[in-house]
Amino acid sequence: MTEGPRRRRLRGGSVLPGFGLSLGFTLLYLGLLILIPLSTVFLKSATLPWATFWADVTGPRALAAYRLSLGASFLAASINLVFGLLVAWVLERYTFPGRRLVDALVDLPFALPTAVAGIALATLYAKNGWIGRWLDPLGVEVAYTRLGVVVALTFIGLPFVVRTVQPVLADLDPEVEEAAASLGAGRWQTFRRVLFPELLPAAMTGFVLAFARALGEYGSVIFIAGNMPMKSEIVPLLIMIKLEQYDYAGATAIALVFLLASFGLLLLINFLAWRRGRRLRAAGGET
Residue 27 has pLDDT above 90, yes or no: no
Q: Round the average pLDDT of the chain to a whole number and report it.
A: 83
Where do the structural domains in the chain lie, given as residue ranges? 1-46, 50-286
71-126 pLDDT tens trace? 999 999 999 999 999 999 899 888 889 889 999 999 988 888 888 889 999 999 99
pLDDT value at residue 263 = 81
pLDDT value at residue 77 = 93
Residue 134 has pLDDT above 50, yes or no: yes
Helix extents (H) in the chain: 5-12, 19-30, 36-46, 50-57, 60-93, 99-106, 108-111, 114-125, 132-135, 146-171, 174-182, 187-190, 196-215, 219-225, 235-244, 248-286
pLDDT value at residue 271 = 80
Residue 220 has pLDDT above 60, yes or no: yes
pLDDT value at residue 52 = 86
Q: Which of 5-14, 232-241, 277-286 has the largest mean confidence?
A: 232-241
What number of other Cβ atoms are within 10 A of residue 21's Cβ?
10
| CATH class for the domain made up of 50-286 | mainly alpha
- Mean per-residue pLDDT, 151-160: 93
Residue 231 has pLDDT above 70, yes or no: yes
Residue 174 has pLDDT above 50, yes or no: yes
Query: 135 vs 43, which has greater pLDDT?
Result: 135
Provide the residue count of the chain. 287
